Amino acid sequence: MKLSIFHSIHTRIMTATTLLIVAIVGAVVWSWAKNEGDVYREQKRQQAQTLAVALSNALTNELVDQNWGQIRLGLNLMLRRNPEFVYILVSDARASDQIVAAMPNDFQDQYIPDVVPADITNAALQVYTDTPPVVETFILRDIEFQGERRARRGERVLEVASDIRNASGEKIGTFRLGISLRQVNRAIVKAVNKALLVGVLGLGVGLVGAYILARELTNPVRRLQISATKIAAGDLEHRADIQRTDEIGALAATFNEMATVLQASFSRLQRTLESFERFVPGKFLTVIASDGIENIQVGVASTRLITILFADIRGYTSMSEQMTPLETFALLNDYLACMGQVINDTGGFIDKYIGDAIMALFEDETTGCALHAALAMQQSLKVFNEKRSREFQPTVNIGIGIHRGEVVMGTIGFTSRIESTVIGDAVNVAARVEGLTRKYNCDVLVTESVVAALRRPEAFELRLVDESVKVKGKNEPVAIYELMASSRGLGIGN
C-alpha cells in the first residue's frame, strides 16, 4: 500500500533527487575515504620498508659480533623514541631463528612469538632478495612497554621484515618491526570527516536545487489541474495561462487546444440536443431518457394519466389538391407554427404531427390548460385566416377533440431506429372525438373524463352534446361536450 504522501509529484521528485544526491555524495565520500586510506597506508608501508632496511643494516655488525646487549639497548631506544612502534624483534638465523633481542622483552628467546599469527612469523623468516615484505595483521595479546600500552589485543598493525646480511651477502638474521596503524586510522577518520562535511554541504545545496526543480516542474502541473477542474465544472472558456518553452509549455498549449476543441464540440452537442428536443419534447425526454439522451433504449415505457388534444384540418385533402406541393408545404408550416406556439404557451407539448393533424399532450394536473389551448387555437386560427384572406389564399377550418385517460409513453423500434410514442385507448378516443366534430358541427369537443378532472369547470362554457355516444373502437359509450368559444378567461391552471 503506497503512502499518500508519495502521491504528490513534488514529493516524488524531491525524494528521487534526494536519494540520487545521497547516493552520489555517499559514493564520493566512500571513494575519497578509501583513496585517502590507501594513500596513507601506502605511505606508511614505504616508510616502514625504508626504516626496516636502514635499521637492519645498522644492526649487521652487532649481530655478526653477537653483541646482544648493544642490540637490545638500541631496540629499547627506538621503541622509546617512536610511539608508533609496537614491537621490534631480531632473530638469529644461525640459531634456528631464535629471537635474540626484542622490545618488549617478553618475546626474547622465543622462536615463534605470540605477538602475531604464526603464518606471519613464518613468512617474515623467509629469505627475500628484493624489498622487505610489509603485511597488515593483528595483535594476539595486549602489548605494554615501560608501563605504557602500545597495542590492544586484536588491534591492526603493519609488520615489516628485513633480512640482516653479513659482508658476503649471507642472511644471518631477521629484523621485524610492528608499527601501529592508529595514526593512519586517525588520518583516515579526519579525511572521512572532511569528505562528510563536503558531502553535507553538497547535500544541502542539492536539496535546495531539488526543491526549486520540483517546484518549477509541479507548479505548472498544479495550475493545469486547476484549469482542468474549472473546465470540468463547465467553464469551457477558461484557458491555462502557462508561458513556457519546454515540454510543460507544450503540454499547456496542447491542453488549451483540447479545451478549444472541447468547447466547440460541446457547442455542437448543445445545438444537437436543442435540435433533438425539437423532434422529441423535453417533457417526453424526462420519461424515456431520465438517465440522459445517450442512454435511450428501445422498450423504455412509463404509464401516465394524461390529457390528449387532437386537432385536424377539415377538408385538407381537397384543399391540397387545388394547391401545388410547395404551397401545401408552406401552408402546413405556417399553420403548425401558429398552433404549436399556442400549445407551448398554454403548458402542453406536441407529441407528433400526423400529416396535417396535431397530437398534443397535457399533464394530468393541467387538464384545464388543454381547454385553454383549444380556445386559444381557435382565436389564433381566426387571425391566421384573416391574414390568408388578405393575401387571397384559402382559409383553414379545424376540429379539436380532447380526452383524458391512461396512456403508455415510451420508445419503440430497434437499435438503429428508435421513435418515441404514446400508446393507449385514450389516444384512440381523443382521435375519434376529434372526428365527431364534423358530425356534430362543433369546433371543439371534450369528453366527460376531461370535464370531471377540471378544478374550475365554471371557467368554461360547456354544452352537453351527447351523453352517450359510441366512439369507434370503444365498447363503452362516452358523454361529449362542446367547448363554447364564449368561455370566460384564459387563465392557466383550471
pLDDT 10s digits, 366-377: 689 999 999 999
Q: How many domains does the chain have?
A: 3
Q: Is the pLDDT of residue 480 over 80?
A: yes
Whether residue 123 is predicted with pLDDT greater than 60 in this model: the reply is: yes
Place of cell 387571425: 383
Q: Are residues 150 and 250 in the same domain?
A: no
- The overall average pLDDT reported for the chain is 83
pLDDT in tens, 162-180: 898 888 888 899 999 999 8
Is residue 257 domain-shared with residue 134, that is, in the same domain?
A: no
The one-letter code for the residue type at 139 is I
Same domain, 263 and 300: no
Residues 124 and 253 in one domain: no
What pLDDT does residue 43 have?
Answer: 84
Average pLDDT over residues 401-429: 84
Residue 69 has pLDDT above 60, yes or no: yes
**424 pLDDT higher than 80:** yes
User: Which residue do the cell numbers 642472511 mark?
Assistant: 171
359 and 412 within one domain: yes
Q: Are residues 273 and 289 both part of a single domain?
A: no
Of 277, 310, 337, the one marking the end of a domain is: 277
CB 176 within 8 A of CB 132: no
At residue 313, the pLDDT reads 93
Q: What is the pLDDT of residue 467?
A: 86
Buried b (16+ CB within 10 A) or exposed e, 31-61: ebbeebbeebbeebbeebbebbbebbeebbe
CA 301/CA 194 separation, integer angstroms? 84
Residues 413 and 396 in one domain: yes
pLDDT, average across residues 82-109: 90
Looking at the structure, do residues 270 and 291 belong to the same domain, yes or no? no
Q: Could you tell me the CATH number of the domain that includes residue 128? A: 3.30.450.20
Residues in CB range of 20: below 8 A, 6 or more apart:
none
Q: Quote the pLDDT of residue 308.
A: 94
On whether residue 57 sits in a domain, the answer given is: no
- Give the end of a domain, one of 245, 277, 309: 277
CATH code of the domain covering residue 331: 3.30.70.1230
Residue 3 is assigned to a structural domain of this protein:
no
What average pLDDT score do residues 356-373 get?
A: 88
| pLDDT over threshold 50, residue 492 | no
Query: Who has greater pLDDT, 226 or 357?
Result: 357
Whether residue 100 is contained in a domain is answered as yes
Q: Do the domain assignments include residue 225?
A: no
Most confident of 8-22, 192-206, 264-278, 376-390: 376-390
What does the block give as the cell for 278? 425539437
Asked if pLDDT for residue 84 goes beyond 70, the answer is yes
Q: Is residue 208 part of a domain?
A: no
255 and 389 fall within a common domain:
no
Reply yes or no on whether the pLDDT at 102 is more than 80.
yes
How many percent of the chain have pLDDT more than 90?
Answer: 27
- Would 370 be classed as within a structural domain? yes
Do 323 and 263 share a domain, yes or no? no
CA pair distance 201, 222, nearest whole angstrom: 31
What is the reported pLDDT for 3?
47
Domain hosting 362: range is 284-483
Backbone Cα Rg of the chain: 57
Cell numbers at 133, concatenated: 615484505
Do 334 and 438 have their domain in common?
Answer: yes
* Residue at a domain's end among 252, 277, 302: 277
Asked whether residue 341 falls in the same domain as residue 436, the answer is yes
> What cell does 203 get?
547535500
In a domain, 56, yes or no: no
Among 291-300, 363-372, 462-471, whose mean pLDDT is lowest? 291-300
**DSSP letters spanning 2-32:** --GGGG-HHHHHHHHHHHHHHHHHHHHHHHH
> pLDDT of 266-295, one tens digit each?
778 777 666 656 666 666 666 666 665 655
Element at 120 (helix H, strand E)? helix 118-124
What is residue 266's three-state secondary structure? helix
Find all residues with CB under 8 Å of 156, minimum gap 6, and list them.
136, 137, 138, 181
pLDDT of residue 377: 93
**193-197, 285-289, 345-349: least confidently modelled range:** 285-289
Is residue 223 in a domain?
Answer: no
Q: What percentage of the chain exceeds 70 in pLDDT?
A: 89
